[in-house]
Structure 1
């Protein structure tokens, strides 16, 4: 809701009762994607629009008041992906402002430095790009959990290669949309549009998921850190029973090795909720989790 250029561009705006609705359904956490870069000056000191910042604060605090943990995620900073070196100072300045604005929040508010690094924001540039932004966060939030993801849209293979900041309060994330030709079939923003009719649950699909669990387990054994699935899901136009099978199978698989997950999303494109009819219960009721924490 806050990740498009302007709230409401890609679906409806946030309503305060969304937070109570999500909590009542049994969820513990919401991930709040925000396009801060679209609401900030492009020259120093890169000031974020105060009205937009106030709106983000309202949405965040409404979710916290409803009893939810919140992951505040910087999202869709396309300029950073294209030119990490040229945007590095602005990226750090944005985080300096965001971190200072929300330093009064409780410990169950976490910051996510950047959603799905891609393009030129890759293993060769991530450390140099994240370091000043993390330092800007630490200036006002020395102990707050900060989430980092790796290159290539934070796909699972990024766990093997991504640089991890030397910071005890870092949690690593990855996103899981495999098999992509199932989860994104028919999605019009994919070029070329993937053909529809792909079914989930083949022997190859199961082997791919088993392989993913091995990759995550290897990461845990190598680093001593437990990552989490920051996003997983299937496009809303896929038949409901197939979507339900996907959410159930993927969430259960990662939960079986002590890894928590955030389902994407709430109301738009990969929806779990439909305005007018409510929760899609075959999907909602199949989502699994674990009490393991990083």
Structure 2
């Protein structure tokens, strides 16, 4: 380590240490000692000499303006008495070099005393994104749970694997290999959550002995992961609804089983690296309770039992980070308050809270017209993240978003969530979690990473995730521009969401488009000229004719598909409630959602609180076959008689169709 630092003879001393560094990233610890009169509320400011950026902080709120960085106190460390020291830390990004800041100011006063900061030897950036960092991130000392959880950012779930029932490959994923883990690590992930369902892999009462073959396999993958440099989190996963949920009515048996499993696991991993983390139970839930308040009490009992049990096994378990969920891993305030009370009663410095986040439900599954990343989706996101920050992080308790994604984003069910709207969600989740110091672990059951081929199913989706770990990206009101084939080509506009960036241009096939003749920008309104669109649509074949990119001062480019279309056309059909498909010539358009109403205007079908039905669950487009399928699940809740359908397409086109149901017979025609 090479020392450097700053001190204020008039009042402060700063010790800055870059305790770990890897290609493109580093961890820094900062200690501020007050040498003057007591300080209530502090702001430490500096400039990085090499353009570094703070990506995640703990024990302080860190913001940047231009090249100036400011760390401000949290509610719990605002006071610095004379000769007292307050500490905080952060993860950062760098390129080229990672020099320590030369000067600091505390509340506007320069710290000018003896230097006491340090940085690790300079390391060149990795030449290849497929190469793992040469060294693993350092492990913060026990008692600094906030730093440990921050060092786990970002995280990835090995979903639908060891949590699958009954075995590792039962839910469609291949056997986990060290090559897979190496690949995930090389992509920049620093922690891995390994959900494990134990129900089918242990013996009977009273010992509930875990099958040694299964336990050895879990240990093998844990050890591989640790060797790759991951922080690793294991848990009891679908046990939550297989048997733990009976806790209210079968207390003795459930508690005995719970204790037996965690006793064996704690013993098995007692001396493993502190980078191994235990999570008490996934998404705890109970049957037969009077409500969530009773559920909160039951979760508290299990979490408390878990902490006491693990701690008494000693070794590294005495200070291992333990992760405790809320009821249902919910972000509702009542659930958060209940867990906060439990953590306060435990008086344990090595605890973290966890919740899951799958977004605003109508958007997450595309029901009730939830097709876009709109104000409701944003409010749900920021509200949840504000609550967990204020309840836990502001009090020095770290938070892990143990699972996040959208529920129905899946490569096997394309079109449920429009790609551009999903990208906006990804960008927002990354940003809002980062500025609130929340560690995120994406749920990947195979919908993001093709584990057989070790490639991202949609590289653009992963690129947006990765960019979000350190910066913001610009987006737009849409990633599609629909150009009607039946009308003359005219100029089209898109609203840019700059997200703190600045627009730098448009390009097509690697060539920059020309400002003025190809596009214009007025504030945040981007206009594509008729001349440019005429050139881009070419012969105007149905579908995507060209894809252009909007580029910004930082983050990933925003892709925009130029689509030629005509209004879709539908035909008459007959069928049954088990098999009914509407012949549809899509003409280059894509289906966004469907409404269903009876002849009297009331809502028809499932979820009759809304006219908009659930995409894929109730209806499904088949573009290859040229049909829209109405599912048996839809008809099972439709009364006999006439039903009017309205199909909404991404071009903005709406077409109507009606059918008559009589028993199991269905007859339909366009209107």
TM range (shorter): 0.7 to 0.9
Deviation at 1:181, TM superposition (A): 2.4
Structure 2 match to 1:241 = 420
Over 3 Å counting, the alpha-carbon distance change for 1:264 and 1:64 in structure 2 is same
Q: Distance in 1 between matches of 2:424 and 2:208?
A: 45
Q: Distance in 2 between matches of 1:139 and 1:200?
A: 50
Over 3 Å counting, the alpha-carbon distance change for 1:30 and 1:159 in structure 2 is same
Q: Distance in 2 between matches of 1:150 and 1:62?
A: 30
Deviations 1:98-132 (A, max 9, x none): 11111121111100010111124821212222333
Q: Distance in 2 between matches of 1:23 and 1:221?
A: 27
The alignment partner of 2:171 has SS state of: coil
Deviation at 1:38, TM superposition (A): 2.2
User: Is contact 1:96-1:136 (8 Å) kept?
Assistant: yes
Superposition map of 1:135-174 within 5 A: 135-140=308-313, 141-151=317-327, 153-157=328-332, 158-162=335-339, 163-164=342-343, 165-174=346-355
Q: Please, which runs of 5 or more residues in structure 1 have no aligned partner?
A: 186-193
The alignment partner of 1:174 has SS state of: strand
Deviation at 1:18, TM superposition (A): 1.2
Over 3 Å counting, the alpha-carbon distance change for 1:65 and 1:200 in structure 2 is farther
Deviation at 1:49, TM superposition (A): 0.4
Select the structure of larger CA radius of gyration.
2
Structure 1 match to 2:274 = 107
Q: Distance in 2 between matches of 1:34 and 1:217?
A: 28
Deviation at 1:224, TM superposition (A): 2.8
Structure 2 match to 1:189 = none
Deviation at 1:240, TM superposition (A): 3.5
How many positions carry a matched residue from both structures?
Answer: 277
Which of the numbers 3, 6, 10 marks the counterpart of 2:171? 10
Over 3 Å counting, the alpha-carbon distance change for 1:147 and 1:221 in structure 2 is closer
Superposition map of 1:119-130 within 5 A: 119-120=286-287, 122-130=295-303
User: Is contact 2:244-2:286 (8 Å) kept?
Assistant: no
Q: Distance in 1 between matches of 2:372 and 2:286?
A: 29
Q: Distance in 2 between matches of 1:184 and 1:43?
A: 40
Report the RMSD for the aligned CA atoms in angstroms: 2.1
Q: Distance in 2 between matches of 1:73 and 1:112?
A: 5
User: Is contact 1:248-1:283 (8 Å) kept?
Assistant: no
Deviations 1:58-94 (A, max 9, x none): 1111111112111112101120022252301110110
Structure 2 match to 1:190 = none
Q: Distance in 2 between matches of 1:202 and 1:58?
A: 44
Over 3 Å counting, the alpha-carbon distance change for 1:61 and 1:200 in structure 2 is farther
The alignment partner of 1:53 has SS state of: helix
Q: Distance in 1 between matches of 2:278 and 2:454?
A: 33
The alignment partner of 1:46 has SS state of: coil
Deviation at 1:203, TM superposition (A): 1.4
Structure 2 match to 1:188 = none
Give me the TM-score of the superposition, normalised by structure 2.
0.39
Q: Which has the higher helix share?
A: 1
Deviation at 1:221, TM superposition (A): 6.3
Q: Distance in 2 between matches of 1:221 and 1:161?
A: 15
Q: Please, which runs of 5 or more residues in structure 2 have no aligned partner?
A: 1-160, 288-293, 471-671
Deviation at 1:154, TM superposition (A): 0.5
Deviation at 1:42, TM superposition (A): 3.1
Q: Which has the higher strand share?
A: 2
Q: Distance in 2 between matches of 1:59 and 1:137?
A: 21
Structure 2 match to 1:198 = 370
Structure 2 match to 1:81 = 245
Higher relative contact order (Cα pairs below 8 Å, separated by 6+ residues):
1
User: Is contact 2:236-2:279 (8 Å) kept?
Assistant: yes
Q: Which moved more, 1:46-55 or 1:236-245?
A: 236-245
Q: Distance in 1 between matches of 2:365 and 2:311?
A: 37
Deviations 1:22-72 (A, max 9, x none): 001111011000012321123011100000000000111111111211111
Over 3 Å counting, the alpha-carbon distance change for 1:127 and 1:241 in structure 2 is same
